Chains A and B, each alone.
Chain A
Amino acid sequence: DAGITQSPRHKVTETGTPVTLRCHQTENHRYMYWYRQDPGHGLRLIHYSYGVKDTDKGEVSDGYSVSRSKTEDFLLTLESATSSQTSVYFCAISEPSSGRETQYFGPGTRLLVL
């Protein structure tokens, strides 16, 4: 397995509270991604990063922010969680500039916002 961990793996929180999810990689890949997976929607890209402090929005970025202060860590923050953000969140990494466009996924974080 690619060296990707996500923490926490499960979280229950209340509407309006801030939540931070962490993705950690040991592969030194330049690109890191956050997706959410919901029934009927498949995977949708929230934000991605192409280097330290370099991030960009994905398809469903509203209500989310990200930060990448080190190559190995990519944080996803829900500033004020809403019930619509209940989902399974996946982190992924890739190194497309080396001709390897494959993405490697973490195990996921199940978030329930009450």
Chain B
Amino acid sequence: SQQGEEDPQALSIQEGENATMNCSYKTSINNLQWYRQNSGRGLVHLILIRSNEREKHSGRLRVTLDTSKKSSSLLITASRAADTASYFCATDMQGGSEKLVFGKGTKLTVNP
């Protein structure tokens, strides 16, 4: 069964705007990861945040993690048309990090 659930399922914004995607999960985790998938391609890792971290930045990406609410958010600032893709959160299980459970993804469209 799905561990992570992204929200919203789809998001359409204009270039230059910020995009926020949320992920909720059910059980305790060691870490949470975000991946990106361009249409017809494999997933690409974006960022990993550990359970003892609250916020992490990578370029235009900002990820937050609230373990008390079992939720995470991915913020993409100053979006570009090239950011158009599907974004997935993935969580491991606290007993081990070798297996990930992926959510169903948020499809982001950035209009030029």
Contact = CB atoms under 8 A, between A and B. Distances in A.
- Indicate, yes or no, whether A interacts with B: yes
Interface of A: 4, 31, 33, 35, 40-45, 48, 50, 58-59, 90, 92, 94, 96-97, 101-108
B102 interface: yes
Contact of B88 (A42, A94, A96, A106): A42
B41 A107 contact: yes
Interface in B91-111: 92, 96-105
B99 A58 contact: yes
B99 A45 contact: yes
A33 B42 CA distance: 13
B48 A102 contact: yes
Interface string B66-97: 00000000000000000000001010100011
Contacts of A102: 33, 45, 48
